[in-house]
């Protein structure tokens, strides 16, 4: 379990995902949308499943769905994909 890992999305994009566990309230919407990318641990905090097979669109949707903005996603060039500008 990690709160900062790189994953390969279903569409072959390398992503760097960070979860701020201090912000996570265990709402689980991230996991519902991308169950292969996000899980919920014993302390009701999200973690990242490192061998992701969800597609980029769903992973971004997961980040957007987070009520506390706890998820940050960057591409392999360091561009921030979420939160949006």
| Binding status of residue 49 toward ligand SF4 by CB under 6 A | no
**How many residues lie near ligand SF4 (CB under 6 A)?**
17
Binders in 23-42 for ligand SF4, by CB under 6 A: 24-30, 38, 40
Q: How far apart are the C-alpha atoms of 60 and 78, rounded to whole Å? A: 15
Q: How far apart are the C-alpha atoms of 16 and 71, rounded to whole Å? A: 10
Site string for ligand SF4, 65-84 (x = CB under 6 A): xxxx-xx-------------
Contacts to ligand SF4 by CB under 6 A: 19, 24-30, 38, 40, 46, 65-68, 70-71
């Amino acid at each position: 379990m990690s709160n900062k890992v790189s994953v390969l999305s279903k569409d072959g994009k390398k992503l760097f995902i960070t979860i701020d566990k201090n912000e996570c309230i265990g709402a689980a919407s991230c996991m519902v949308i991308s169950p292969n990318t996000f899980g919920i641990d014993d302390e009701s905090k999200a973690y990242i499943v490192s061998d992701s097979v969800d597609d980029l669109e769903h992973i971004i949707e997961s980040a957007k769905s987070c009520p506390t903005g706890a998820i940050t996603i960057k591409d392999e060039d360091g561009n921030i994909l979420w939160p949006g500008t």
